[in-house]
Amino acid sequence: MKKIQKTEAEWKAQLNDLEFHVLRKSGTERPFTGQYNDHDALGTYLCNACKTPLFDSSNKYHSGCGWPAFWGELETANIVQKTDHSHGMNRIELLCSCCNSHLGHIFNDGPPPTGTRYCINSVCLEFVAKE
């Protein structure tokens, strides 16, 4: 997979303020406000910054956490996991391996078969419906 490297100015020109804050500065959107939190259409979720496929709708579920939740990623997603000690917490941050954009965090309280919950900011995603 080809790595995408852009300057901060290039990312600011491409992304709106919220997208830049979350994707490039590891921020978060307010819970229950994202467009994909209650989204149930069939398709694929891409990285909003570089369009790398990340999740299939068949792995999405309603966790009640306020952000889109998935129990697994696409086999080809290449999502990077990184230790995150920000805000006085110990978490695992998820990053797009292609553009290094922040996506969200992963937790061990998800449903079978994986028991994991990929908690992803809606603003980090772009949805492409199945035809």
Residues catalogued as catalytic: 119
In the chain, beta strands by DSSP E: 43-47, 53-56, 60-61, 69-70, 79-84, 91-96, 102-107, 117-120, 125-129
Tokens of 96: 């797009």
| Residue (of 27, 28, 31, 23) closest to 4 by Cα position | 23
